[in-house]
Structure 1
Amino acid sequence: MDSLKAATGCKVWFYEEVFSVILTVDFTSSCILTLQRHWETCSTDLQPPGGSAGFDFSVMSYNILSQELLRDNGFLYGHCEPGVLRWDFRLHNLLQEIQQHDADVVCLQEVQEDHYQNQIRPALQARGYHCEYKKRTGRKPDGCAVTFKTSRLSLLSSNPVEFLRPGDALLDRDNVGLVLLLRPNDSVSQSDPSSFLCVANTHLLYNPRRGDIKLAQLAILLAEIDRLSRLPDGSTNPVVLCGDFNAAPWSPLYSFLTSGCLEYGGLQIGKVSGQDNSPRGQRLLSFPIWSPSLGINHQCQYENQPAAEAPPTIPTAVEGRISNLTGEDLSTPPDRMRMEHTLKLQSSYRHHLLPDGRPEISTCHSHTALTVDYILYSHDSTPPSLPGGRGLQLLGRLSLVGQSELEEVNGLPNQHHSSDHLPLLARFRFRC
């Protein structure tokens, strides 16, 4: 504590709060400045369209940096004062940030299980949130959480998604997702049993060189979202997909999410996420990327399964298919080396700053500064003046910053920002 006090010139004291005893810092003008973020309006239609109902709600997505992962990867945080890396200090900042933004739905990644059970969930419940959590499989310490204000939304179902498939050499990692169906607590939605929101949260594999695994994990998540959001008549309810996708905005993986199609013939595995700039030769994605035994087709939908029927929790163990291109692969028609989805997703962020076009940054530590976090949503292509359509309209977002702004505050984490990621925040209108 003395080293922190000496380094910052700030007064330090302890105080009691419901979740724990927290170390907090009173920052003076000599301390590192906070990042300047502002609200960006994305629509001039600030009132519900005439003759139709609208439910406005906000969503936060935030990788809060698991304390165990911070300790295991300490080399990434050598630029930080030791005091700002303490969990008691970080916890207070993180909860204060969540409270400040006051989002209706909060999707968190890298939520350490013991911290969730003992501190984070009780603190959020005290503020009116219902909390759902899915821990990563195996011995991993953290997982994903989705929380929402019970005053604004009601839970219809909570659906954990495990990407691990025992016996499959491709799907052998412990990443997970969580998909919730939520009903707005407004009179229109309550009177229409088919009106709900599908909110999904995930943290895909980090490894920059394993784009094949990332795409297979994503296919599983998208198949589950498609099943849960689809109505008996074939239409779908709105989807909000949040998470740390470990993929850059210029990557093929991101393009697949936002365009609905990826032609992957000749694509190197290490180029899928846009994280690996290594020029050396790499294996190409093979056809098919995942085993047919997974029961998911190239459109990222469950095969031969009615929308109302749940998929098996643990599919039959299968052998993954990861290899260099073989003679069989070379003879595969190019038009078959394609994966698709029908969710019509787009990003709530531009991924570049105005007016100079610099890249927006969502994560920064001593080894990287780029965007890997997204709030994606199924947009409403129907004009507000016309009836029909159940997509979402983006009303606004909390601005991100560039690399130079992060350098001015000594990167992440720092005294004011207690994760190596920045929270994303967007506001939507759901036309019921």
Structure 2
Amino acid sequence: MIRIKNNDDHHTSISTFTILTYNCLASNLAESQYFPKTNPTHLDFSYRSKLFEKELQSFNADIVCLQEIHEENFQQWLSPFLLQLGYDEGTFAKRGGTKAKDGVVIFFKRDKFKLINQHRLDYFDRAQDQFPTETSLATYNVALFCLLQMQNVKTNVSNKEEQQIWICNTHINWNHTLPATQFFQIRTLFNELTQLHKNTCDQSFVIVGDFNSTPDSIVHDYIRNGFLTDTADYYSKVYEIFLPLFDGDSTKTRKYLTEPHMYKNTMESAYNKDTFLIPFTTRIVDNFCGTIDYIYYQRNRMRPLHLLNPLHNDEELVIHNDFTLPNEQHPSDHLPLMAELDLLSKSSENDD
């Protein structure tokens, strides 16, 4: 783990915790036709599962958020394995549709957290409810929310809700040529979070997962700024999709696209140019090498202390294009991210 330099030690810390996000490449998708450069032996789940076990034991994260977990693997392998390591049995949300076999899952250390609430979000269902005529918005992707209560906090905080954290694990649609679909999903996620948060502003939250979006995309424009900027390259394409859904009313369409979410200007990616200076990527396959997985936190309620170097000792291979995923040492086509976050007392917001 790489230590992050912080200049705000005057803030009151409630407790620290580590959170891992990792797209594990569903076993039904780990086929040679998709990964021709990978040795078929290294695609076999019996081989990959041993590497996953070694990694998960080594990371020893307090909260584990995984994407593309096959339902049978969750029930028969992953949940029993992590239970032995001190985690809960796991909360699983399978993607919808008749063909989907995988989903997202959240585990937490039993001695560190207690589960207060859980909630799933099906983007397909929301698209069908809100915009039934636009089929491109209705894709089988999912988000999972778990409200966790911290145990054994190091600071005496009278408000119990300040010790509670919403953990959101999501897997957004992969097709970057459909920015309207990706925008709809991330907008829906923040609306859902607002509803879960509506009775209190004291609970904090972290959003992690496979966003299938590079840092300069529509998804991260919305997360960081709180709305879409109408000067962005993709804005006109998204506008064209939504305009007929609002009966050609440009005012309503622009409001839908540019109305800010309530957490605007408070979201920060744990891995960014200020905290992680080495060449950074989370997925390497075929001709793609880039960042599409993220850990987002509220910078007014948390600060990163340490970050995992996901490339281990392979930076040189990546730079010289001699590296592909999965491989003998890396069991997925994605790399894991992990951050140690310091949860701050809400009173610390007034110090900024």
| Contact 1:266–1:284 under 8 Å retained in 2 | no
Task: Encode CA deviations 1:374-420: one digit per residue, 9 max, x unaligned.
Answer: 0000112xxxxxxxxxx111112113459753356631111111001
- Out of 4, 10, 21, the position equivalent to 1:61 is 21
| Contact 2:87–2:109 under 8 Å retained in 1 | yes
- Gaps of at least 5 residues in structure 1 are 1-37, 270-282, 291-319, 381-390
Q: Which residue of 1 aligns with 2:91?
A: 132
Task: Encode CA deviations 1:85-142: one digit per residue, 9 max, x unaligned.
Answer: 1100101101210110111011100011010110011101111112111000012010
Q: Which residue of 2 aligns with 1:284?
A: 237
Q: Which residue of 2 aligns with 1:420?
A: 333
| Contact 2:71–2:94 under 8 Å retained in 1 | yes
Structure 1 pair 230–236 and aligned structure 2 pair: CA distance change class (3 A): farther
| Contact 1:58–1:428 under 8 Å retained in 2 | yes
Give the partner amino acid of 1:137: G
If the length of structure 1 is used for normalisation, what is the TM-score? 0.69
Q: Which residue of 1 aligns with 2:191?
A: 223
2:59 is equivalent to residue 91 of structure 1: no
Bigger Cα Rg: 1
2:339 is equivalent to residue 429 of structure 1: no
2:6 is equivalent to residue 40 of structure 1: no
2:30 is equivalent to residue 77 of structure 1: no
- Gaps of at least 5 residues in structure 2 are 346-352
**Rounded Cα–Cα distance in structure 1 between residues aligned with 2:67 and 2:97:** 17
Q: Displacement of 1:193 after TM fit? A: 3.0
What SS is found at the alignment partner of 1:200? strand
2:233 is equivalent to residue 321 of structure 1: no
| Contact 1:194–1:231 under 8 Å retained in 2 | no
Q: Displacement of 1:346 after TM fit? A: 0.6
2:251 is equivalent to residue 349 of structure 1: no
What is the count of residue pairs matched by the alignment? 330
Higher relative contact order, structure no. (Cα contacts within 8 Å, ≥ 6 residues apart): 2
Structure 1 pair 329–229 and aligned structure 2 pair: CA distance change class (3 A): closer
Structure 1 pair 105–336 and aligned structure 2 pair: CA distance change class (3 A): closer
| Contact 2:30–2:44 under 8 Å retained in 1 | no
| Contact 1:230–1:237 under 8 Å retained in 2 | no
If the length of structure 2 is used for normalisation, what is the TM-score? 0.84
**Rounded Cα–Cα distance in structure 2 between residues aligned with 1:127 and 1:184:** 19
**Rounded Cα–Cα distance in structure 2 between residues aligned with 1:176 and 1:336:** 22
Give the partner amino acid of 1:114: E
Structure 1 pair 143–331 and aligned structure 2 pair: CA distance change class (3 A): closer
- Out of 385, 405, 411, the position equivalent to 2:317 is 405
Give the partner amino acid of 1:134: A
- Out of 137, 161, 170, the position equivalent to 1:202 is 170
What SS is found at the alignment partner of 1:218? helix
2:181 is equivalent to residue 213 of structure 1: yes
Structure 1 pair 331–215 and aligned structure 2 pair: CA distance change class (3 A): closer
**Rounded Cα–Cα distance in structure 1 between residues aligned with 2:254 and 2:170:** 30
- Out of 97, 107, 111, the position equivalent to 1:151 is 111
Structure 1 pair 117–331 and aligned structure 2 pair: CA distance change class (3 A): closer
Task: Encode CA deviations 1:229-258: one digit per residue, 9 max, x unaligned.
Answer: 3444xx342211001001101223212211
